[in-house]
């Protein structure tokens, strides 16, 4: 019969000095950072989705209808719809793109559904080279994932990255012109890859 020898617990090879190094994320970070984040990529690494002219026309018409019932301009609504379509197309879920006009002026924070998960897409305009993800803090966080897209031309969308709801919930809340929002820095965004498109 084999005897089991008891071994006293020992300190791991990671010393206190190692635990306090810059390589270990501080406790106040919103969440563990992705192994490879958007922050580490160059512009050429991001996938670009082309929006066909006929689809652009249909999205512009929908943006007009939304602006009649919701706050925001036609251009604001078109920007959001282009980002949503830009992500829906490579995921193969363009039919799930929400084109409903809601009387209460909202979509519940869900733009797309993919593999059982819900996605809220945030789109920035052409003036932002290295944008961070911003999500309104006055609304409940209802999506499973939050995605960031950037309009880089009239018909092209650059897909930047995405993050789970927990990262958004733990991100700092800032205010600008009386509106509060969660600010998720690029180092907390998981990158979309060119293989997507």
Burial label, 113 (beta-carbon count in 10 A; 0-12, 13-18, 19+): middle
In a domain, 153, yes or no: yes
Condensed to tens digits (0 to 9), the pLDDT of residues 31-42 reads 567 888 898 988
> Which of the residue ranges 4-18, 32-46, 139-153 would you say has the lowest mean pLDDT?
4-18
In a domain, 27, yes or no: no
- CA dist 42 and 94 (Å) reads 28
- CA dist 156 and 86 (Å) reads 8
- CA dist 49 and 92 (Å) reads 12
- Residue given tokens 């966080």 in the structure block: 141
In a domain, 2, yes or no: no
The per-residue pLDDT for 152 is 94
The answer to whether the CB of 159 falls within 8 A of the CB of 46 is: yes
DSSP string, 132-192: PEEEESSS----SEEEEEEE-SSSEEEEEEEEEHHHHHTS-EEEETTEEEEEE-GGGPEEP
Task: Locate 196 and state its tokens.
Answer: 């997507």
User: Total domain count for the chain?
Assistant: 1
In a domain, 9, yes or no: no
In a domain, 79, yes or no: yes
Q: What's the chain's Rg over C-alpha atoms?
A: 21
In a domain, 112, yes or no: yes
The answer to whether the CB of 125 falls within 8 A of the CB of 151 is: yes
- Residue given tokens 């970070």 in the structure block: 29
Give the dihedral of Cα atoms 23, 25, 27, 30; nearest 10 deg.
170
* pLDDT of 97 over the 70 cut: yes
pTM beyond 0.75: the answer is yes
Per the structure, the complete domain to which residue 106 belongs is given by: 35-196
Residue 47 banded pLDDT, cuts 50, 70, 90: very high
- Three-state secondary-structure class, residue 112: strand
């Amino acid at each position: 019969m084999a005897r089991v020898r008891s071994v006293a617990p020992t300190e791991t090879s990671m010393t206190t000095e190692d635990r306090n190094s810059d390589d270990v994320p501080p406790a106040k970070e919103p969440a563990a950072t992705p192994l490879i984040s958007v922050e580490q990529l160059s512009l050429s690494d991001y996938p670009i989705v082309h929006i066909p002219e006929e689809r652009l026309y249909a999205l512009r018409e929908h943006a007009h209808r939304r602006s009649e019932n919701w706050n925001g301009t036609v251009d604001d609504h078109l920007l959001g719809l282009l980002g949503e379509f830009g992500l829906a197309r490579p995921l193969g879920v363009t039919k799930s793109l929400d084109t409903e006009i809601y009387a209460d002026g909202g979509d519940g924070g869900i733009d797309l559904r993919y593999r059982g998960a819900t996605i809220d897409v945030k789109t920035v305009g052409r003036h932002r080279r290295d944008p961070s993800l911003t999500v309104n803090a006055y609304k409940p966080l209802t999506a499973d994932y939050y995605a960031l897209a950037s309009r880089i031309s009239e018909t092209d969308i650059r897909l930047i990255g995405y993050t789970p709801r927990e990262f958004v919930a733990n991100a700092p809340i800032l205010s600008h012109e009386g509106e509060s929002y969660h600010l998720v820095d690029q180092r907390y965004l998981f990158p979309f890859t060119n293989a997507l498109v």
